Amino acid sequence: KRFFSYRFHVRSFLVITSILNGCFVGLLNSCTKLLTFIVKSTPEDQSTLCNPLFYLLWALIVSSILANIYNLNLTMRYYSQLYVMPFYESCAIFFNIISGLLLMGEYQLYTRSQLACVVVGCLVSVLGIFLKLLSIEAFDAGANAADKDDKY
């Protein structure tokens, strides 16, 4: 019973931190595109620096970068890259697609069948990575397994 509890907590920790990372990546992507739009759409007789949204977006960009670095360092401290990076990358891809579709209006560029194929393809990829990584036996030993992998 204790064995199941440990495995469940380790996997839950990785999934939660990966989802947080994906949210921060989506936020970073959205803020960068919005900031670019503000700079390009500001009339020549006005300064971009007068727009308070410019500073808000910069603050969000810096905070999301710092949060991602902290989150990634936290998980890398306890687990090997082999276990952490696929979770992180799959969540980053998923949230980039979500932010592009919803916030940037990219859904207008697709037909319904194309949009369904993009979403289904992304979900199949993300779920496949999660299911494959959830079956890795190295989670059973926790950080010790990650240390053993790093020695080779």
pLDDT, one tens digit for every residue, the chain (152 residues): 555 566 666 777 777 888 888 888 888 888 888 888 888 888 888 888 888 888 999 999 999 899 889 888 888 887 778 778 887 888 888 888 888 888 778 888 889 899 889 888 888 887 887 777 666 654 544 444 444 444 44
Contact yes or no for 26/95 (Cβ under 8 A): yes
The C-alpha atoms of residue 53 and residue 119 are separated, in whole angstroms, by 31
Residues ≥6 apart with Cβ < 8 Å to 40: none
Q: What's the pLDDT at 2?
A: 53
Residue 147 token pair: 């240390």
Residues ≥6 apart with Cβ < 8 Å to 117: none
Helix (H) or strand (E) holding 19: helix 2-41
Q: What's the pLDDT at 56?
A: 92
The C-alpha atoms of residue 8 and residue 10 are separated, in whole angstroms, by 6
Q: What's the pLDDT at 99?
A: 81
Q: What's the pLDDT at 66?
A: 92
The C-alpha atoms of residue 84 and residue 9 are separated, in whole angstroms, by 14
Q: What's the pLDDT at 150?
A: 47
Q: What's the pLDDT at 141?
A: 47
Q: What's the pLDDT at 8?
A: 66
Q: What's the pLDDT at 19?
A: 84
Alpha carbons within 13 angstroms on the beta-carbon side of residue 22 total: 24
Q: What's the pLDDT at 113?
A: 93
Residues ≥6 apart with Cβ < 8 Å to 10: 79, 139, 142
pTM of the model: 0.68
The C-alpha atoms of residue 89 and residue 72 are separated, in whole angstroms, by 11
